[in-house]
Amino acid sequence: MKPLITTPKAEEDSVLYSPFTRETGMQVSSIGESTLITRIKEWLGLCNPASPMGIGDDCAVNPIQDPEAFHLTTIDGVGWGKHFDAHVPPEAVGRKLLGRNLSDIASMGGIPTVAVVALWLSPQSNLQWLERFYRGLAAMAGMHGVQVVGGDVSAAPENVFIADLCLQGYCRRPLLRRQVSPGDTLWVTGTLGGSALGKHHTFEPRMEEGQWLSESGWAKSMMDISDGLGKDLPALTGPAVVRIDPLPISEEAKQMATSSGLTAFHHAVNDGEDFELLFALDRSVDVPTFVKDWTNRFHTPITRIGIVENAPSESGFHWLDCEGKPFPKASGYEHF
């Protein structure tokens, strides 16, 4: 998502949600850290196990996973004015914080386990907003079997709300990037572009799809699309020449194109925050069998978006249209 820095209206406006309040009795500074942590434990409910497995000691103490698996770690955050604005309900912000990280675990073919959350709160942070944020996070955690086992709370400057979440997991067969060869086909789940219209905070991370693509042995390389296909496809293939098929452009990308002055294709490859899976099948894969196997299991659409013509390529990454002509360069989402 491009930064949507909005100035929230007064809290009385029921359509807008601000993490901050001028009402001192509702501010985080009115209760102090110990009480806040007690509240956070309540808000997290069942996804917060008793100490020392969960919140309450210097570290969370958890059993070691299956020693024949690989351990996975990822960290990703959300910030006010950057990843959400006053149009996003607080539950959806909590949901998105975990969802971004779940999508990373999914893209390795992994199973998520435990999370810790670092919060940076203005003294003016609104406790009601915060409760709804944590309840959204807890609901998402419960849905995916994640336990929130610890965290940290620090004071931030005025009008700053930042939350980082570190998620761990494990997998038996991690699906890495940069494993493609000529003839491999490239696929995406779902549709691309226009996530700023809502999908950026309502998306479902593709957990079962990712796990199945790893365990079944079908996929050979995978990542999630978070910065737009234009940036993430080169990250998956490395320096390669890829011939592109028609992309599954979302209705939202087409809708944004009616007013943005940009094409729907531009939105599909640059918008970011799709949180779809991008994966490669080996050239030896019998595609009809794969597609049948997929559709027997999932309603999620998949689309072949291209084929690797040359990899590794000495001249870097290039994509060509179906007639072999170079495609316009696409940078994806640039963070700075």
Q: Scan residues 94-133 and list those touching a second copy (CB under 8 A).
A: 103-105, 107-108, 110, 114, 116-118, 120-121, 123
Q: CB nearer to a second copy: give 15 or 59.
A: 59
Q: CB nearer to a second copy: give 25 or 157.
A: 157
Binding to a second copy (CB under 8 A) within 271-300 occurs at none
Structure tokens at 74: 């990822």
Q: Is 321 exposed, middle or buried (0-12, 13-18, 19+ CB in 10 A)?
A: middle
Choice from 45, 142, 174, 312 touching a second copy (CB under 8 A)? 174
| Cα separation, 307 vs 212, whole angstroms | 22
Binding to a second copy (CB under 8 A) within 153-172 occurs at 153-157, 159-160, 162, 164, 166, 168-170
Is 268 in contact with 188 (CB distance < 8 Å)? no
3 binds a second copy (CB under 8 A): yes
User: Packing angle between helix 32-44 and helix 127-143, nearest 10 degrees?
Assistant: 40
Task: Output the CA–CA distances (angstroms, integers) from residue 333 to 1, 210, 268, 330, in the order listed.
Answer: 8, 23, 11, 9
Binding to a second copy (CB under 8 A) within 189-218 occurs at none
Q: CB nearer to a second copy: give 13 or 57.
A: 57
Binding region for a second copy (CB under 8 A) out of 89-97, 174-182, 189-197, 310-318: 174-182
Residue recorded with tokens 């219209």: 197
Binding to a second copy (CB under 8 A) within 23-62 occurs at 28-29, 31-33, 36, 51-52, 56-62
Which residues share a beta bridge with 112? 169
How far apart are CB 2 and a second copy at their closest, in Å? 11
Q: CB nearer to a second copy: give 74 or 191.
A: 74
Closest CA to 88 of 17, 143, 37: 17
How far apart are CB 203 and a second copy at their closest, in Å? 15
Q: CB nearer to a second copy: give 177 or 254.
A: 177
| Cα separation, 279 vs 290, whole angstroms | 13
The string of DSSP codes covering 90-154 is HHHHHHHHHHHHHHHHHTTT-EEEEEEEEEEE-TTBBHHHHHHHHHHHHHHHHHTT-EEEEEEEE
How far apart are CB 21 and a second copy at their closest, in Å? 14
Closest CA to 105 of 73, 77, 137, 143: 73
Binding to a second copy (CB under 8 A) within 66-95 occurs at 66-77, 79, 81-83
Q: CB nearer to a second copy: give 11 or 224.
A: 224
How far apart are CB 330 and a second copy at their closest, in Å? 14
| Cα separation, 48 vs 43, whole angstroms | 9
185-189 and 111-121 beta bridge pairing: unpaired
Choice from 12, 288, 314, 335 touching a second copy (CB under 8 A)? 335
Q: CB nearer to a second copy: give 292 or 329.
A: 329
